[in-house]
């Protein structure tokens, strides 16, 4: 009997495809967001508002991930930007292979910003790299401020965290102080934003933050 050293990453297949996706997107200087949250926290609504403000001077493309239906893709398409819908048919997250397929169907040459809206799920999407520059997670006030501690990984790995549905906070017992304290303990380096889509609040802040991220990425390839 003999022992062999293997030392191989169990997710190597996903990671290899992720690197290829990332290389392609880096070469084109496209800033890529992996947008994650629970179902119904407002990812698509936020995206609609952000697209409306950015689309005149920034070329945006979107990949929508859902288990079934093209409902989200239709909403994004109505904003006049190219969108690819991925239906996972049951899988609870997007993986690198699915993104590779979607990238083949998009014309990437003029794209500045690619937003990948992951399947609504506070757990699994955080575990799979897909070729993004940043993970952004959204939490809505109606979900309760206890979620970051209950589902730490997503908030731990996010470069930015958006607190959405601020207009509803007065109808909930959402404790903002506790929320920010918890987020700091998980991930002190994340940028944070507060938004309300119905009141068009906080969207401009996100957009100007995004503009500088996109600019940085672009200048990295020049």
Partner 1 sequence: MHEVSIIQNVVEIVTEKAIENKFTKVTKVSLRIGELSGVMPESLNFAFKSCIMDTLLEGSTLEIEKVKAIGECIDCKQEFPIDHFNKLCPCCNKFCSSIISGYELYVNTIEGD
Least separation in angstroms between CB 108 and partner 1: 29
**CA-to-CA dists, residue 188 to 5, 6, 25, 140, angstroms:** 37, 35, 28, 20
Site for partner 1 in 187-216 (CB under 8 A): 188-189
Site for partner 1 in 103-142 (CB under 8 A): 123-124, 127
Closest by CA position to 164, among listed 31, 55, 75, 37: 37
Look up tokens 């992720």; give the residue: 18
Helix (H), strand (E) at residue 64: strand 60-66
Strand 134-140 relative to strand 160-164, pairing: parallel
CB under 8 A: which stretch of 11-19, 21-29, 167-175, 192-200 binds partner 1?
A: 11-19
CB under 8 A: which stretch of 2-10, 29-37, 106-114, 164-172 binds partner 1?
A: 2-10
Whether residue 79 contacts residue 51, with contact meaning beta carbons closer than 8 Å, is answered with yes
Among 184, 200, 215, 216, which residue sits at the site for partner 1 (rule: CB under 8 A)? 184
CB under 8 A: which stretch of 7-15, 82-90, 104-112, 162-170 binds partner 1?
A: 7-15
Site for partner 1 in 138-157 (CB under 8 A): 149, 152-153, 156
Whether residue 181 contacts residue 150, with contact meaning beta carbons closer than 8 Å, is answered with no
Q: Does 3 interact with partner 1 (rule: CB under 8 A)? A: yes
Q: Does 19 interact with partner 1 (rule: CB under 8 A)? A: no
Closest by CA position to 82, among listed 57, 126, 113: 113
Q: How far apart are CA 161 and CA 183, in angstroms?
A: 9
Residues in contact with partner 1, total (CB under 8 A)?
A: 26
Among 1, 89, 90, 177, which residue sits at the site for partner 1 (rule: CB under 8 A)? 1
What is the contact surface with partner 1 in residues (CB under 8 A)? 1-13, 123-124, 127, 149, 152-153, 156, 182, 184-186, 188-189
């Amino acid at each position: 009997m003999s022992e062999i050293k293997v030392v191989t990453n169990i997710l190597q297949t996903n990671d290899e495809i992720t690197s290829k996706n990332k290389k392609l997107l880096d070469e084109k200087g496209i800033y890529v967001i992996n947008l994650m949250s629970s179902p119904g926290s407002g990812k698509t609504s936020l995206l609609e508002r952000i697209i409306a403000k950015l689309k005149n001077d920034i070329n945006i493309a979107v990949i929508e991930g859902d288990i079934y239906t093209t409902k989200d893709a239709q909403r994004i398409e109505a904003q006049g930007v190219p969108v690819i819908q991925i239906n996972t048919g049951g899988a609870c997250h997007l993986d690198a292979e699915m993104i590779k397929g979607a990238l083949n169907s998009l014309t990437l040459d003029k794209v500045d910003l690619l937003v990948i809206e992951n399947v609504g799920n506070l757990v699994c999407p955080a575990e799979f790299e897909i070729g993004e520059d940043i993970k952004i997670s959204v939490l809505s006030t109606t979900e309760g401020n206890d979620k970051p501690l209950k589902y730490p990984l997503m908030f731990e790995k996010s470069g930015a965290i958006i607190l959405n549905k601020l207009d509803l906070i007065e109808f909930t017992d959402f404790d903002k102080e506790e929320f920010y304290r918890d987020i700091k303990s998980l991930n002190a380096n994340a940028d944070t934003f507060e938004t309300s889509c119905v009141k068009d609040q906080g969207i401009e802040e996100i957009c100007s933050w995004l503009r500088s991220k996109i600019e940085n990425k672009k200048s990295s390839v020049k």
